[in-house]
Homo-oligomer: A and B are copies of this chain.
Amino acid sequence: MTVPARRPTMRDVAVHAGVSFKTVSRVVNGEGTVSPAVVSKVVAAIEVLGYQPDDRARRLRQGGTSTGVIGFILVDVANPFFSSLLRGIEETARQRGNLVVSGSTDGDLDRQDRLVEAFVARRVDGLIVVPSGREPGALRPEIERRTPMVFVDLEMEGGQVDIVRSDHLGGAVVATQHLLARGHRHIAFFGDDVETFSAQQRIDGFHSAMKAAGVAVDPRRVVTGRHSADEWRSIAREHLAGDSAPTAVFTAQNFVSIGTTHALHDLGLQHRIAQVGFDDVEFADLVQPGITVVPQQPRKLGVRAAELLFQRIGGDTSAPHLEVIANPLVERGSGEIEPSAP
């Protein structure tokens, strides 16, 4: 293999066509005030040399600000929730001729800070961030500078930035009501650690729906904590076995749902105890019965986040938006089981 060839510049094209490089610029930008003969000479030279304008230089001269690239900081692209978000952002950016750089933090604020710095150094036009933690870190100066920015999925203190997130509260209400409507009165809640905003909202939604229906919540049936799917499997097994088991369970997070479904199968109770999960689970329709869920709509979140961002990039200086995206319930079988006679 040979060494990569140096890319031709406008000057190279100009020399080849026998004109000034300013004339090449005119042709490239279709300014129209060039004589046809000259245009075709220049076009031919562009073809021969394979010239492609350097967008960076062009934009640098034009104003120094816009790069046509937006940055997306997320927790982990390999997680389907985030990659769907990215896909939504990407589509929206594409429609506007923009590109997306992205980076994963794994929830580490330090990595987030380094990504922010790298993005800012390359002068992205704006930032979409799924924040890792509540500290703004390196984002603070950007927030103060009013760099176009949208947060996804997480509330942040301050409230000076646009936010797009799922309706965790409403989704939990819908899930709980779905079980109540089938006649369940003994409903368990299994959920993630309540430290995060979304987990808190989901448990709040559960309580609120139960209260509205006049059904008392048995505190022994409310289990929360940060565990793996395997850990949830044994936790759920304990709570779902025996005579005092609930007739239905709302599993408010992905791992919790998977572990609980495992547990139900382990106990052979998958057709007797109803389950509704928050968040979609791949393969959820392969299990028998399929798992009824209230999925988030990550792609939609991404589209709306990007739309808001481009609005800001476009100069919108109105008050910060908070946009909440609804989560529709998908019936697959597990959530439609009726309470069995004791």
Contact = CB atoms under 8 A, between A and B. Distances in A.
Interface of A: 1-7, 50, 52-57, 60, 64-65, 67-69, 76-80, 82-84, 86-87, 90, 94, 97, 99-104, 117-123, 141, 144-148, 160, 258, 261-262, 265, 281-284, 286-288, 299, 315, 317-320
Contacts of A318: 1
A286 B288 contact: no
Contacts of A86: 77-78, 83, 102
Nearest to A119: B99
Nearest to A258: B286
Contacts of A87: 76-78, 104
A6 B148 CA distance: 12
B101 A7 contact: no
Contact of A265 (B55, B104, B288): B288
- Enumerate the 3 nearest inter-chain pairs by beta-carbon distance, A residue then B residue, closest first: A283-B283, A83-B83, A4-B146
A4 B147 CA distance: 6
A82 B287 CA distance: 25
B258 A283 contact: yes
A99 B77 contact: no
B101 A101 contact: yes
Contacts of A83: 77-80, 82-83, 86
A104 B318 CA distance: 32
A275 to B, nearest CB: 13
Contacts of A84: 78
Contact of A80 (B78, B102, B144, B145): B78
Contact of A60 (B1, B57, B145): B57
Contacts of A317: 1-3
A56 B5 CA distance: 21
Given A4-B148, A55-B122, A57-B60, 16 more contacts: A5-B145, A6-B65, A50-B141, A56-B67, A56-B123, A69-B122, A77-B90, A80-B83, A83-B83, A90-B104, A97-B118, A99-B103, A99-B119, A262-B286, A283-B283, A287-B287
